[in-house]
Amino acid sequence: MIAAGAKSDPYADERAAMVETIAARSSSTSKALGRDDIDPRVLRVMGKVPRHALVPEDIRKASYENRPLPIGYGQTISQPYIVALMTDLLQLEPGDRVLEIGTGSGYQAAVLAELGMQVYSIEIIEPLAERARKDLAALGYGNIKVRVGDGYYGWEEEAPYDAIIVTAAASHIPPPLIKQLRPGGHMIVPVGSRFLVQQLVLVDKNAGGEVTTRQVLPVTFVPLTGGH
């Protein structure tokens, strides 16, 4: 994978500042996680993944600002703090199989891959999927598979997954995704509509297959689209 922290990288200082900003949000983090700090592993990889290489060229100057950015086709790349928080909430271990719904620019997938996960990512907008696939390959992320499809239905052929992350707001937690989550696994998904308060919801499936949910914090995401 790319050595994003190399001295030749003109964005290294900005990326380090982004990580410091994420780490400083201890009050929000403590409410969401029950502890003051984001997992150091997550912060370390976010200090390495070149976010600027995964956004359109005309907004690269804003790559490391702690806010969502437009990536075309009415879609956005999530705020870095939210990427860190959602990744942390999945309680991942190296080698876990993670399903991502909404590839977008590929940034979230890159963060997961840099953590050592095998990532399966679905994007419903074909040009975005193709661009992300090309950009991720150029950065050397061979542990990410991207396909075009309706993420509501998941990727049944590769199930079950240790974790599932949904990067668009659904009106409800998609039943196919719950089914594809292995016992003991975790899913993070924004739930709500574009015009009402959305909640980031953590879904846990215990060893016996029983599902529990917890609202983490209010968020704003673009809506999950598709035939459902």
Q: Are 223 and 193 in contact (CB under 8 A)?
A: yes
Nearest to 178 by CA among 157, 160, 199: 160
In our burial notation (b when 16+ CB lie closer than 10 A, e otherwise), range 140-173 reads ebebbebeeebbbbbbeeebbbbbbbbbbbbeee
DSSP 78: P
**What is the C-alpha R_g of the chain?**
16
Residue identified by tokens 């290489």 is: 53
Q: Is 63 a catalytic residue?
A: no
> In angstroms, rounded to a whole number, what is the distance separating the alpha carbons of residues 156 and 179?
9
The residue annotated as part of the active site, out of 63, 78, 105, 121, is 78
Measuring CA to CA, how many Å separate 228 from each of 96, 155, 171, 207? 28, 15, 11, 29
> In angstroms, rounded to a whole number, what is the distance separating the alpha carbons of residues 48 and 136?
14
Which residues belong to the active site? Answer: 78
